[in-house]
Amino acid sequence: MNERLFIMKPRKEKIIEAAMSLFAEKGFAATGLREIADRAGVSLGNIYNHFKNKDELFQHIFNPGALVASLSDTFYELAEDFPFNIDRLILSIKKTIDANRALFKLIFIDLIEFEGKNTDQMIEYFIQTGRDIFKKQLEDRSRMGTLKKLDYEFFIRFFVITTISFFASSTMLPSVKTKKYSDERIAAMLSEVTLTGIRA
């Protein structure tokens, strides 16, 4: 007799997936724990075994550190040639957002229902990582004359916020979607504007 092995998702993972999906669809306030339990196929008590309340569940899902960790290897890989390989960094950020679409949709929920507390923390993580990795490169290239002198703290903030905002918005707003361009072409165009502007 052949036995078949079925790999079951742990209950906590089911709860997190159900909650992320419902929060992204309906918002935080409109989603109840019982509804999350029903979608996850678990009892309400199972949720309380892992999370003390809905707020803690949301905080667990919207984890800025985990998102930044997913990009930190790329940041270090690209540090040596930054900013002249900025297109590769933009492409990496887009791929991270695409791979975590439901999570990045929660940015909009967070902005409305939590006054951006978690989003601000996430952006700050990205900025801090960018500052630590790329600031020296920018300063060294400025001293060599290959980059003009500028406020690098501002540049890093501008770059991180605009790139994440652009791609996160495209997960929700059809008007932001750029389907006629490949990801590589989008990254190249954004890189060109960032590095050279639009003046002829």
Q: What is the pLDDT at residue 168?
A: 84
- The C-alpha torsion from 192 through 131 and 125 to 160, rounded to 10°, is -10
Q: What is the pLDDT at residue 77?
A: 67
At 56-81, the pLDDT tens digits run: 999 888 877 766 776 666 677 667 77
Instruction: Yes or no: say if 99 and 91 are a contact pair by the CB < 8 Å rule.
Output: no
CA distances in angstroms from 66 to 24, 71, 110, 146, listed in the order given? 18, 9, 17, 34
Amino acid at 71: L
Q: What are the structure tokens assigned to 41, written together?
A: 């196929």
> Please, what are the averages of pLDDT over each run of 10 residues along the chain (200 residues)?
51 91 91 95 92 92 73 68 81 83 83 86 79 75 73 81 84 77 88 79
Distance, in Å, from the CA atom of 190 to the CA atom of 200, rounded to the nearest integer, reads 16
Q: What is the pLDDT at residue 83?
A: 75
Instruction: Yes or no: say if 36 and 19 are a contact pair by the CB < 8 Å rule.
Output: yes
Distance, in Å, from the CA atom of 46 to the CA atom of 11, rounded to the nearest integer, reads 8
